[in-house]
Structure 1
Amino acid sequence: MSTSRWAAILPDFAPFRSGREFRLLFYQGTVTYFGSFMAMIALPLQIKHLTDSPLAVGAMGAVELVPLVVFGLYGGALADAVDRRRMILLTEAGLGVLALVLLVNALLPDPLLWPLYVVAAGVSALSGLQRPALDSLMARIVPHDQLTAAAALNGLRYQFGAIAGPALAGVVVAFAGHAAAYSVTVLGFLASVLLCLRLSPAPPVKGAERPSLRGIAEGARYAWSRPVLLGTYAVDLAAMFFAFPNAIYPFLADELDAVWALGLMYAAGAVGSLVLGMTSGWMSRIRRHGLLVVFGAAVWGLAVAGAGASSGIWLVLLCLAVAGAGDMVSGLGRATIWNQTIPEELRGRLAGIEVLSYSVGPQLGQVRAGTMAGWTGTRSAFWGGGLACVASVAVLAALLPKLISYDADTDEDALRRRAAREAEPSGAPV
Structure 2
Amino acid sequence: MTEVRAARRQSSRWAIDLRPLAVPAFRRMWLGNTMAMLGFQLTAVAVPVEMYALTGESFWVGLLGLAGFVPLLFFGLWGGAVADARDRRRVLLAGSALLWTTMLGLLAHASLGVGSPVLLLALVAVHSAGFAISSPARTAALPRLLPPGLVPAAATLNFTTFTAASVVGPLAAGLIFAVTGTERGLPIAYAADALLFTGLVVAALRLPAMPPEPLGDGEVRRGGLAGIRDGLRYLTTTPVLLLSFAIDLIAMVLALPRALFPEIAEERFGGGAAVGWLFSAIAIGAMLAGLTSGWISRLRRQGLGLVVVVVGWGLAVAAAGLAQQLWLMVLLLAVAGAADLVSAVLRQSMLLVYAPDRMRGRLQGVNTVVVAGGPRLGDLRAGAMAGGFGSGVAWVGGGLLSAVLALGLAVAFPALIRYRAAAVASEQRV
Q: TM-score, normalised by structure 2?
A: 0.87
The alignment status of 1:147 with 2:143, answered yes or no, reads no
Q: 1:102 to 1:394 in 2, by over 3 A?
A: closer
Q: Which residue of 2 aligns with 1:424?
A: none
1:252-267 equivalent positions in 2, closer than 5 A: 252=264, 256=268, 259=271, 261-267=274-280
| Structure 1: runs of 5+ lacking an equivalent | 420-430
Q: Which residue of 2 aligns with 1:286?
A: 299
Paired with 1:163 and 1:291, the residues of 2 have a C-alpha distance of 28
Q: What do residues 58-89 of structure 1 show as CA deviations (whole Å, max 9, x unaligned)? A: 54433322111111110011010001111112
1:7-26 equivalent positions in 2, closer than 5 A: 7-17=12-22, 19-26=23-30
Paired with 2:63 and 2:199, the residues of 1 have a C-alpha distance of 31
Paired with 2:393 and 2:54, the residues of 1 have a C-alpha distance of 34
Contact persistence 1:144–1:418 (CA under 8 A): no
Q: Which residue of 2 aligns with 1:423?
A: none
Contact persistence 1:91–1:130 (CA under 8 A): yes
Q: Which residue of 2 aligns with 1:128?
A: 132
Contact persistence 1:10–1:280 (CA under 8 A): yes
1:57-206 equivalent positions in 2, closer than 5 A: 57-108=61-112, 111=114, 113=116, 116-172=120-176, 174-175=179-180, 177-206=185-214
1:333-348 equivalent positions in 2, closer than 5 A: 333-348=346-361
More off after superposition, 214-223 vs 383-392: 383-392
Paired with 2:391 and 2:366, the residues of 1 have a C-alpha distance of 32
Paired with 1:105 and 1:353, the residues of 2 have a C-alpha distance of 31
SS of aligned partner of 2:415: helix
Paired with 2:34 and 2:87, the residues of 1 have a C-alpha distance of 22
Q: Which residue of 2 aligns with 1:387?
A: 400
Q: What amino acid maps onto 1:238 in structure 2?
A: I
Contact persistence 1:340–1:417 (CA under 8 A): no
The alignment status of 1:364 with 2:377, answered yes or no, reads yes
Paired with 1:259 and 1:107, the residues of 2 have a C-alpha distance of 23
Q: What do residues 25-69 of structure 1 show as CA deviations (whole Å, max 9, x unaligned)? A: 111100111122223333444455566666655544333221111
The Cα RMSD (Å) is 2.7
Correspondence for 2:336 among 312, 323, 327:
323
Q: 1:370 to 1:192 in 2, by over 3 A?
A: closer
Q: What amino acid maps onto 1:226 in structure 2?
A: T
Structure 1 position 333, deviation (Å): 0.8
Paired with 2:98 and 2:338, the residues of 1 have a C-alpha distance of 33
Q: Which residue of 1 aligns with 2:259?
A: 247
SS of aligned partner of 1:280: coil
Structure 1 position 185, deviation (Å): 2.0
Q: What amino acid maps onto 1:231 in structure 2?
A: L
Structure 1 position 105, deviation (Å): 5.0
Q: What do residues 195-231 of structure 1 show as CA deviations (whole Å, max 9, x unaligned)? A: 2111111111224623132221121121111111011
Q: Which residue of 2 aligns with 1:427?
A: none
Paired with 1:177 and 1:376, the residues of 2 have a C-alpha distance of 32
Paired with 1:278 and 1:129, the residues of 2 have a C-alpha distance of 30
Q: What do residues 168-207 of structure 1 show as CA deviations (whole Å, max 9, x unaligned)? A: 2343455364333333222212232112111111111224
Q: 1:100 to 1:366 in 2, by over 3 A?
A: closer
Correspondence for 1:399 among 412, 418, 429:
412
Structure 1 position 417, deviation (Å): 5.1
Q: 1:158 to 1:418 in 2, by over 3 A?
A: farther
Q: What do residues 281-306 of structure 1 show as CA deviations (whole Å, max 9, x unaligned)? A: 12121122112211110110111222
Q: 1:246 to 1:337 in 2, by over 3 A?
A: same
SS of aligned partner of 1:190: helix
Paired with 2:190 and 2:121, the residues of 1 have a C-alpha distance of 15
Q: 1:262 to 1:103 in 2, by over 3 A?
A: closer
Paired with 1:340 and 1:373, the residues of 2 have a C-alpha distance of 40
Contact persistence 2:174–2:277 (CA under 8 A): no
Q: What do residues 239-296 of structure 1 show as CA deviations (whole Å, max 9, x unaligned)? A: 1222112223455557756656443222211100011001111212112211221111
| Structure 2: runs of 5+ lacking an equivalent | none
Q: What amino acid maps onto 2:370 in structure 1?
A: S
Structure 1 position 404, deviation (Å): 1.2
Paired with 1:169 and 1:218, the residues of 2 have a C-alpha distance of 42
Q: What amino acid maps onto 1:199 in structure 2?
A: L
More off after superposition, 401-410 vs 294-303: 401-410
Q: 1:50 to 1:317 in 2, by over 3 A?
A: closer
Name the % identity. Answer: 38
Q: 1:311 to 1:59 in 2, by over 3 A?
A: closer
Q: What do residues 307-350 of structure 1 show as CA deviations (whole Å, max 9, x unaligned)? A: 23445443332211111111111111101100110011111111
Q: 1:373 to 1:43 in 2, by over 3 A?
A: closer
